[in-house]
Amino acid sequence: MFLVFQEFEVKNRRRLEFELPRHVAAMIDRHLQKRSPTLCPAGTPWLFPLRDGSRHMAPTDLSARIRTRLKRELGAEINAHLFRHFAAMIWLEANPGQYEVVRRLLGHAALSRTLDLYAGFEAGTATRLFSELVARSRPR
């Protein structure tokens, strides 16, 4: 199963395609099996459809629902776009300096854009890793 964004759906007009892990694909399949009979007509092809199944939900409506749900559940103002920043932060904290991976993950055309936005996110982790390296290299 793939998540695909066509050129016209992305700010920088670059097509993005991601293969979903098997467990995520299985979660989507389970959701579709449970959802279709109760929330919309059987066979509705959209992951996030209108209740009548005629078309997909508008991205702005889906984003508003996510924001409202997170506010209710967490008490925090979190919009869907912040998931991109969160993904970059998680990756860089675990893998300091791997900006090219973040660039590809987020679909930035230029590495400079990624560096402008995310350089320094992993500074604490990089410092800790360096300290651990120095500690391991010291004579016992």
What is the model's pLDDT at position 11? 83
The answer to whether the beta carbons of residues 54 and 42 sit under 8 Å apart is: no
pLDDT digits (tens, 9 = 90+) for 82-106: 998 999 999 998 898 999 999 999 9
Provide the residue type at 9 as one letter.
E
Q: Three-state DSSP class for 8?
A: helix
| Residue 104 backbone phi and psi in degrees, to 5 | -70, -40
- Count the Cβ atoms, other than its own, within 10 Å of residue 113: 13
Q: What would you measure as the largest C-alpha separation in the chain, in angstroms?
A: 70
What is the model's pLDDT at position 102? 95
Task: Report domain extents, the chain.
Answer: 1-39, 41-76, 81-140
What is the model's pLDDT at position 27? 93
CA 128 to each of CA 47, 97, 98, 120: distance values in angstroms, whole numbers, following the listed order: 41, 14, 16, 14
pLDDT above 70 as % of the chain:
99
What's the mean per-residue pLDDT of the chain?
A: 89
Model confidence, pTM: 0.70
Beta-bridged to residue 19, according to DSSP, are 2
